[in-house]
């Protein structure tokens, strides 16, 4: 599941910005919101992959 690994990577990458946003940094907040949009798309990809695995015929 490539998309799941991509999701984890994005979450790790924005950790610093999340912390800065908590401190009141508006630019960091903007970056976090953008990353959340990316995460939304990636999560949809993960859902599709899970359905493909679920619906794949077992031998």
Output the pTM of the full model.
0.80
pLDDT, residue 6, reads 94
pLDDT tens, the chain, 59 aa long: 789 999 999 999 999 999 999 999 999 999 999 999 999 999 999 999 999 999 988 77
The radius of gyration computed from the CA coordinates of the chain, to the nearest angstrom, equals 15
pLDDT, residue 29, reads 96
The residue extents of the domains of the chain are: 2-55
| Calculated CA dihedral for residues 41, 3, 5, 29, nearest 10 degrees | -10
CB 4 within 8 A of CB 46: yes
pLDDT, residue 57, reads 81
DSSP H or E run through 54? helix 26-55
């Amino acid at each position: 599941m490539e998309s799941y690994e991509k999701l984890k990577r994005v979450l790790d990458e924005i950790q610093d910005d999340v912390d800065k946003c908590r401190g009141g940094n508006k630019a960091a907040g903007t970056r976090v919101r953008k990353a959340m949009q990316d995460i939304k798309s990636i999560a949809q990809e993960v859902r599709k992959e899970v359905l493909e695995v679920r619906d794949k015929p077992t031998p």
